[in-house]
Structure 1
Amino acid sequence: MSESASWTRVHDGCFELDLLTASYRRHAFTRHSHATFAIGVVVRGEEQFHYRGELRRAGVGSLAILEPEEPHDGMAAAAEGWTYRVLYPSEAMLLEHRPVRPSFPEPVVYDAHAVHLLQTAHEELTAGVDPLAAHSKLAWAFEAIVARHGRGPVGAPPLKASDAAATRKVAEIRDRLMADLRCAPSLRELAAGVELSPYHMLRVFRDATGFPPHTWLVLERVCRARHLLAAGLTPAEVGSAVGFADQAHLTRWFKRVTGVTPAAFRNSVQDPVRRPA
């Protein structure tokens, strides 16, 4: 395995977040600390590091949670080295709207659910294809990490989808998403518009509709695409008209929902098979 490392910085309208994707064999980090949290998943090999007076090991499928200003180093635990993805959220970003910061007594945990959420969010944020979907998954990941592994106050419970206030907020979110299918608002813009934290907004919307906002929006785009294709527009024209990144993006989602490609759908409705009377 060759050594490589790349950094990505993303913005969500309020916070900026650095992401590291790296593979190391011989490199050893000197003892240092971060002003932010460092939260990572090992996807290959095994890393070891000294943290709070102990030598810790993080292997494939593990979640490492290092708190701000905590000294640590880092090196391979075996000759093959390790590959990992790391996010560096500020305290305000990770613990948004919590009155007291919880602690994380275990720096290495094995939690398949949280690892999957974090790794998926990291991959999609790095790719930069669908910011609303990626930041939504990041909010779910951070909430899972804090709820499952943090110790201390966790804040007030979110609204329930059955509450009248929640119903109004869900309607407002739908209206905002439908206002322009081509330009999705950011996760924080949606949340700020209904005065909820991003995680609570996601939970209320999902409980009410069965989908997180980014999936609901994609399904609405597919629905609109069907009407435009039936009206005679080409798949290339439809993709950009309803907000898909490109025709391939439209095709993937359209087939998932309808079972056929946009071209096949257009052909079938433009030239329907005549049935005998």
Structure 2
Amino acid sequence: MSAATGTGVRSPEFWHDPRFPQLESRRSCRQNSCYRPHTHDRFAVGLIDEGTSEFAGRSASPVRLEPRDVILIPAGHVHSCNPVSGDWVYQMMLFDPEWLRVRAWAHDAAFDGAIQVHRDSDAYRLFAEVNAALFEGPRDLDGLERSLRRAFAGLGTASVRHEDPVGESALAETLRPVLDVLAEQSEDPRLGDLATAVGMSRYQLIRAVKRATGLTPIAWRNNARVMRARAMLRGGEPITSVAHALGFADQSHFHRVFRAHVATTPGAYIR
């Protein structure tokens, strides 16, 4: 299929290139596993190719996504997106937000803005063409950046169909020591100890983390470990080593958590 009408792949495909570590991408298949709420540590541009899906963020009601919608998701914003029924095909590119920050052509939403849903055929086409080129094989990186500049410029005239509210940033900063421990400590931390460190009860901490991040402490921890796992796998570390380093009980446990967040296995992610 052409870039403008869908990917046509039979299983999820991932693109990453050590020459361009600031970007990774995926193309989905027609029968997608469902995602649980999660975040990315990168700015995401999602493209809906075929079928309809429901996007859930912080809004009270989910948003229906349709073919040619373009979704902008800043790093750290909790969301999930799952098919309404039948086949659903999408693409997603993930950009290092600091790499985008120094480029004047990058979209403002890449930084501290809300999640945005755009419906614009031209913007969709430009990003789809960039992504198709990635999967075609080695290419000139300067040319890739020029294509990305044109695609982001197209968003400047695209209408915003939906904006999802942002979380409580001040509360998130208060909880930063807790969130860092949850993300970085290999052993499972005791919530009671974390709560005491920020002057809260265990139940106050659970509610506060949910308000600040959109996830419970355990869900936040698993999400953070999966983001670290993706980076380690892209760097060439063996799956068994990644599972051990991140404190998973065993490789099967790592496989289950990774698949719930990425909708594919660690092996397929690096294939």
Q: Which bin holds the TM-score, normalised by the shorter protein?
A: 0.3 to 0.5
Rg bigger for which structure?
1
User: With CA pairs under 8 Å and 6+ residues apart, which has the higher RCO, 1 or 2?
Assistant: 2
| TM-score (structure 2 length as normaliser) | 0.48
| TM-score (structure 1 length as normaliser) | 0.47
